[in-house]
């Protein structure tokens, strides 16, 4: 007689233009599996209509973030054994974003805020100019380096309580990117960027609760970046009034 | 919600309030420990430009600081927006300023107490 396969129950959020609800599925309880493996198993073997988003499966693309037992996680790098609580595994779409279907969220509001926060590069040179010389020990280069490993997964955006209560707030990822550009000497858009991050949805809304820092899968510190933006916008205010 | 202008106003008023709070507490402890009567206190404060400036600037700073803080809370927790939020902020400011100004007037100007 073959060994009976060990199974576990996973609750997955199902929503398709309706109110949505959790549905339970029995999946193999493997010693080594990620949350994304479990979701993929359900879609491939139990219900083909389950929608979710992933691409690289190695923690580079930032596509597969979901709420796992109430916390935002990159599911491809999150082992079930590390997050399962009382044999309970609950997978839901990312918080603070509209749901398209099941586990797939609409990322448009997230990225629109990157543009609103001027988290876009403003070139100061053309291809005919020599390359800017930036040494690795330059303080601005070091500050930029601390902020550039963002994979745009929106885990911080889902973790942020200010985003939840203030729909206008740009959120940690967009402001973190703005901060990396404030430290880019090649960028020619600092005035417009500081005006954008000092506007209604900008950095001054941050309460420094550091949910973003706690959950960022790449261990970035958006709160520190936002503090940098607060400092620079304040300095710019005094520069202007002189 | 909080732009640079409101953020700076709240921080600057906090900076003003910090030493004034310490001064206010020190004065209260001194007055109680020393056993000063109301008349003795008023004799020192009424007509005093220094005490008027001390508590006057305190009241202005508190009114601005408190109104901005409650503005954020009422927006984030209770969803007040637009004109309602503006109105709420100004009413809080006016209330705090009105009550504070009345007290400052009584302590530094009005003769014979209230």
CB A45 within 8 A of CB A96: no
pLDDT of residue A1: 45
CATH (domain of A222)? 1.10.1060.10
- Residues A237 and A144 placed together within one structural domain of the fold: yes
Among A72, A105, A138, the domain-final residue is A105
Return d(Cα A115, Cα A110) in angstroms, integer.
9
Q: Where are the alpha helices (DSSP H) in chain B?
A: 4-33, 38-45, 49-78, 82-108
A34 beta partners: A79
- Residues A169 and A197 placed together within one structural domain of the fold: yes
B2 neighbourhood in chain A, CB within 8 Å: 204-205
Average pLDDT over every residue of B51-71: 96
The sheet carrying A65-68 orders its strands as A21-28, A7-14, A89-92, A65-68, A71-74
Among A105, A120, A135, the domain-final residue is A105
Whether A2 maps to a domain, the answer reads: no
Q: What stretch of H or E contains A21? A: strand A21-28
CB A83 within 8 A of CB A171: no
Return d(Cα A222, Cα A229) in angstroms, integer.
10
- Among A166, A199, A234, beta carbon nearest to B3: A199
Whether A117 maps to a domain, the answer reads: yes
Which residue numbers of A have CB closer than 8 Å to B's CBs? 162, 165-166, 168-169, 198-202, 204-205, 230, 233-234, 237
On whether any CB of chain A is under 8 Å from the CB of B2, the answer is yes
> Which residues neighbour B108 within 8 Å (Cβ) at sequence distance 6 or greater?
B45, B46, B47, B48, B51, B52, B55, B56
pLDDT of residue A4: 65
Average pLDDT over every residue of B89-96: 98
DSSP string, A30-92: -SS-BHHHHHHHIIIII-TT-----S-SSSSS---EEEETTEEEEGGG-BHHHH-BTTBEEEE
Q: Is the dihedral of CA B30, B31, B36, B41 positive or negative?
A: positive
pLDDT at B99 exceeding the cut of 80: yes
A89 beta partners: A10
- Residues A130 and A203 placed together within one structural domain of the fold: yes
- Residues A147 and A126 placed together within one structural domain of the fold: yes
Return d(Cα A144, Cα A232) in angstroms, integer.
14
Residue B114 — pLDDT band, cuts 50, 70, 90? Answer: very low
List of chain A residues with pLDDT < 50: 1-2
Return d(Cα A65, Cα A57) in angstroms, integer.
11
Average pLDDT over every residue of B4-12: 94
pTM: 0.89
Question: Distance of CA B19 to CAs A29, A88, B57, Å?
Answer: 61, 53, 11
Whether B114 maps to a domain, the answer reads: no
pLDDT of residue B34: 75
Residue B44's nearest CA partner among B52, B98, B102, B99 is: B52
Q: What percent of chain B has pLDDT over 90?
A: 77
Q: How far is A195 from chain B (nearest CA, A)?
A: 9
CATH (domain of A54)? 3.10.20.30
Whether B113 maps to a domain, the answer reads: no
The token pair that represents B19 in the structure block: 């030493």
Return d(Cα B55, Cα B92) in angstroms, integer.
19
Return d(Cα B103, Cα A145) in angstroms, integer.
54
Helix (H, G, I), strand (E, B) or coil at A176: helix
Return d(Cα A214, Cα A220) in angstroms, integer.
9
CATH (domain of B46)? 1.20.1300
Return d(Cα A212, Cα A190) in angstroms, integer.
25
Among A70, A105, A140, the domain-final residue is A105
If one counts the domains in chain A, the total is 2
CB A22 within 8 A of CB A41: no
Q: Provide the 8-state DSSP code for A4.
A: P
pLDDT of residue A242: 64
pLDDT of residue B2: 82
If one counts the domains in chain B, the total is 1
- Residues A17 and A80 placed together within one structural domain of the fold: yes
Residue-range definition of the domain harbouring residue A216: 108-241
Average pLDDT, chain B: 92
Residue A174's nearest CA partner among A187, A163, A188 is: A163
Whether B32 maps to a domain, the answer reads: yes
Q: How far is A199 from chain B (nearest CA, A)?
A: 5
The token pair that represents A223 in the structure block: 């709160």
pLDDT at B101 exceeding the cut of 80: yes
A178-192 per-position pLDDT tens digit: 999 999 999 999 999
Stronger pLDDT, B36 or A117, i.e. the higher one: A117
Burial of A49 (0-12, 13-18, 19+ CB in 10 A): exposed
Residue from A205, A232, A236, A237 to probe the interface with B (highest B Cβ count within 10 Å): A205
Q: How far is B43 from chain A (nearest CA, A)?
A: 42
Whether A1 maps to a domain, the answer reads: no
Residue-range definition of the domain harbouring residue B28: 4-108
CB distance B4–A168 less than 8 Å? Answer: no
Return d(Cα A73, Cα A37) in angstroms, integer.
14
Residue of B nearest to A236 (CA): B4
pLDDT of residue A240: 72
């Amino acid at each position: 007689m073959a060994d009976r396969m060990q199974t576990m129950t996973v609750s997955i959020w199902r929503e398709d233009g309706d109110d949505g609800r959790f549905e339970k599925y029995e999946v193999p309880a493997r010693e080594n599996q990620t949350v994304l493996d479990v979701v993929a198993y359900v879609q491939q073997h139990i219900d083909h209509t389950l929608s979710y988003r992933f691409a690289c499966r190695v923690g580079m693309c930032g596509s597969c973030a979901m709420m796992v037992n109430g916390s935002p996680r990159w599911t491809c790098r999150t082992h079930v054994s590390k997050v399962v609580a009382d044999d309970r595994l609950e997978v839901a779409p990312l918080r603070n974003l509209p749901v398209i279907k099941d586990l797939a969220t609409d990322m448009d509001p997230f990225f629109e805020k990157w543009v609103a926060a001027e988290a876009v590069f403003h070139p100061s040179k053309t291809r005919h100019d020599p390359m800017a010389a930036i040494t690795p020990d330059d303080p601005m280069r070091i500050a930029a380096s601390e902020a550039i490993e963002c994979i745009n997964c929106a885990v911080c955006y889902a973790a942020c309580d200010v985003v939840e209560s203030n729909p206008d707030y740009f959120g940690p990822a967009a402001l973190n990117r703005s901060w990396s550009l404030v430290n880019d000497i090649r960028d020619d858009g600092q005035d417009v960027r500081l005006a954008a991050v000092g506007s209604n949805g900008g950095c001054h809304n941050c309460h420094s609760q550091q949910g973003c820092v706690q959950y960022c899968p790449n261990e970035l510190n958006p709160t520190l970046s936002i503090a940098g933006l607060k400092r620079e916008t304040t300095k710019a205010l005094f520069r202007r009034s002189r | 919600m909080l732009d640079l202008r409101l953020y700076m106003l709240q921080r600057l008023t906090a900076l003003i309030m910090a030493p004034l709070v310490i001064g206010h507490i020190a004065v209260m402890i001194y007055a109680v420990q020393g056993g000063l009567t109301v008349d003795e206190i008023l004799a020192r404060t009424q007509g005093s430009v220094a005490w008027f400036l001390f508590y006057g600037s305190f009241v202005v700073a508190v009114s601005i600081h408190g109104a901005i803080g409650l503005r954020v809370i009422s927006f984030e927790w209770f969803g007040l927006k637009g004109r309602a939020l503006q109105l709420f902020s100004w009413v809080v400011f006016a209330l705090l300023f009105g009550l504070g100004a009345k007290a400052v007037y009584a302590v530094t100007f009005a003769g014979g107490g209230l």
